[in-house]
Amino acid sequence: MSNVAKIAVPLLLLAAAAGGTAYYLSSQPGGDVTPVIAPPVQDPTPQPKVEPAAPEPVRAPAPTTTTETSRVAASSNNSNADAPQGVRGRVLQPNGTPAASVRVLLLESAANNPIEMFLKQKTGRITPPLADVQTGQDGTFQLGLRQVGKAVDFRVVSEEFPEASQQSIKVRDGDWYDMGDVRLEAGVLVSGRVVDQKTKQPIQNANVYLVNSAQSYAMVAAPGRERGIPSTTDRTGAFGYPNAPRSGHISLSAEAAGYASGQLLNQQIKPDAENDFTIELETGMPIAGIVVDPNGKPIAGANLSANGLSSKTPQAASTVSASDGRFEFPALRTGPYQLAANSPHYADVKMPIVMTGELEVKLVMSQRGAVKLKVLAANNQAVKAYRVSLKRYFENSPMGIANVPEFGDRSINPSDYPADLAGEWALVRGLPAGAFRFQVTDNAHAKTLSDPFTIEEGGAAVEVVVKLTQGGTITGTVIDDRGQPVADAAVSTDHNAGLAADTPLMELFGNMIPEKHTKTQTRTDAQGRFRISRLAYADYMLRAAHPDYCEGKAINLKVEGEGQVVDAGVIQLSRGALLTGVTMVGGLPAGQIKVTVSTPMTADILPVAAPAGSPQNAPPTLSKPMFNANVLSDGDGRFELRKRIPPGTYKITASRQGGGNPFDTLIDMKETERTLTVAPGQDSIVEQFNLTKR
């Protein structure tokens, strides 16, 4: 694959993960924080609500959950106060007084891995907060982080005011990012009633959920608000929210025992007028049945969903089969539904049309595929302790593989070798249908791909034998710009990403690309030499790094055969310059501002064809080396680029992160863009950015 073609890989991933990208771009800027209301997810645990003035409000107990989820509905006071880094600040009410005893928390950001977050949400797995505490009497808070390097989302959850959020915060080692004053916004009152559709009589103890429609794309909801802000109707059927957003659209949903759920979608909020809504619920009709395997044996713990097929039945519901395989959707709107069932050890099954009132529905789930796996060492001795990963195989692209997110990597040990297989084969269950290859890793061999195999639903276990390889070796030498060897340089292997290396696309989606290569690192000796062995068959890029020099690279290194030695040649490191500086907003130091240095995309740096006499299909080469790097300023607005910048001319920009409007980031970049020139022999550069206050 050429370097130009390799640009397409992250671009395709960008298209495939558009939802994740939208989330990433949807963060809020520092300072005053705008409200974000959490999106709907199945089965929340309602929190207590402040109801509107109504006689004798009555609250319903939390609904019984039908899926196994982890819920944290109240503050756990897990502040991680002893952590060496984190986020701190002060929360103020709209009038500027301290907001005491308000819940603040840090959540894992979906920007880290949008696909994994989507799968968690789909299966009802809710990750607890990374840190969670209530503000003090003066409104201050301090949330420590145990681990750094990944983006986190900050939330303020109040029963009186709309939720406030800042997303994609990155905290450096030992740094406390100060958010300053987070001023909450005054909400509007949303009230209404839940009534019987036919009799118009009030329905008491109905659970109502409010969602800000404008933020329905968000993947990470505040715990306890997975379906929206909860409320419960009183004996008059009334509900109320004093903390609804001031503008935009909201969606309301209501549920009550014996009734089908009801919704009011995309209702316009009027900040200076009455916002009163009536939700009518119709008496529900059940669908019930049983889930069995092909032999009629009940399947417990299968996840079932019912999705309305008519515009009159937009309802969706979920449940889990009991120990006897029975399931029931007790109250659905009258009409046709599609039923779907999934289970870790059984193939997904769908029943296209089921009418409400059907009580003997039978869903037959075929056993998922299984593999009898035997792994041999290079000397043909059996290996019974290793790590196995499932990769999608493409017949028309034999060297291409893809990750299988629904099948996690597994560690195999002697206990996975059942006696009925003579202890010679490990039994790996739960494989979906399709064409695959196993990727096997242990401590004594190179990462090895199995031959392709095919899994059929309900088919017999497939036998797969993998003979591990010792792989290949890459050698080379690292020198400086005077031709002297560079000792103790770190030389690491990476994707052969070519032009896409170090770009924002690879930063976002690089971890989604299957790792055919072996990821490892070594250091150069006194003569600048290095040798990296036990490398899987793949295309490699090497990175050579030393704190006194710019990073160097060697690309298009192919390891293709057992015992092959590939000479990377000489990797030359130039001295380059260190970049430091300060970022400000409105003349005051401000953190969480990304400073980016990149090579301008001009015609003179684009790939050129391989010179005459090169081997057939030789990839294009770069006419000029590319450089891309970025850094976030710390809580005091200081930044220091960890990489030295080679001599040359670059584009440098600064932009606030976590903006609610992605165009704000683009405006920042446009306003701050300037040319950065690094002269040969220059050791340091200081830059200062002052962004316009918004």
Same domain (yes/no): 34, 169: yes
Enclosing domain of residue 301: 285-364
The confidence score (pLDDT) of residue 205 equals 96
Q: Last residue of some domain: 467, 491, 516?
A: 467
Average model confidence (pLDDT) across the chain: 83
**Entry pTM:** 0.66
pLDDT the model gives residue 46 = 37
If asked whether residues 173 and 39 sit together in one domain, one would say: yes
Q: What is the pLDDT of residues 287-338, one digit of tens each?
A: 999 999 999 999 999 999 999 998 777 778 899 999 999 999 999 999 999 9
412-430 pLDDT per residue, tens: 999 999 988 888 999 999 8
Question: b vs e for 368-386, b when ≥16 Cβ sit within 10 Å of the residue's Cβ?
Answer: bbbbbbbbeebeeeebbeb
pLDDT of residue 310: 83
pLDDT digits (tens, 9 = 90+) for 204-216: 999 999 998 766 4
What pLDDT is stored for residue 74 in this prediction? 43
The predicted-structure confidence for 607-638, as pLDDT tens digits, reads as follows: 545 455 555 444 544 445 678 888 989 888 99
Separation CA 665–CA 656 (nearest Å): 6
We report the CATH number of the domain holding residue 584 as 2.60.40.10
State the pLDDT at residue 387.
96
The per-residue pLDDT for 33 is: 37
Of all residues in the chain, the percent with pLDDT exceeding 70 is: 79
Q: What is the pLDDT of residue 7?
A: 35
560 and 584 together in one domain = no
Same domain, 590 and 494: no
How far apart (Å, rounded) are the C-alpha atoms in residues 206 and 251?
A: 16
**How far from the centroid of its chain's Cα atoms is residue 515's Cα?**
18
CA distances from residue 337 to 307, 351, 429 in whole angstroms, order as listed: 5, 9, 31
Domain final position from 165, 183, 201: 183
For residues 547 and 522, membership in a common domain is answered with: yes
Q: How do residues 133-173 score in pLDDT, each as one tens digit?
A: 999 999 999 999 998 878 899 999 999 999 988 888 888 88
Task: Examine residue 556 and state whether it is found in any structural domain, yes or no.
Answer: yes
The bridge status of strand 462-467 relative to strand 369-376 is parallel
239 located within any domain = no
* Single residue among 148, 163, 183 that ends a domain in this structure: 183
CATH code: domain of residue 507: 2.60.40.1120
pLDDT higher at 1 or 355: 355
45, 237 in Cβ contact below 8 A?
no
- In our burial notation (b when 16+ CB lie closer than 10 A, e otherwise), range 196-206 reads beeeeebbbbb
Lowest mean pLDDT across 47-56, 509-518, 521-530: 47-56
CB 194 within 8 A of CB 279: yes
Whether residue 381 is found in the same domain as residue 519: no
What pLDDT does residue 139 have? 95
Residue 80 domain flag: yes
Q: What percent of the chain has pLDDT over 90?
A: 57
Report which DSSP code applies to 604: G
Q: Is residue 331 part of a domain?
A: yes
* 372 pLDDT above the threshold of 90: yes
Q: Would residue 623 count as lying in a domain?
A: yes
In a domain, 248, yes or no: no
Domain co-membership, 497 together with 526: yes
d(CA 557, CA 554): 7
Domain total of the chain: 5
How far apart are alpha carbons 390 and 667 in whole angstroms?
43
Q: Which of 29-33, 457-461, 568-572 has the highest mean pLDDT?
A: 568-572
Position with higher pLDDT, 588 vs 619: 588
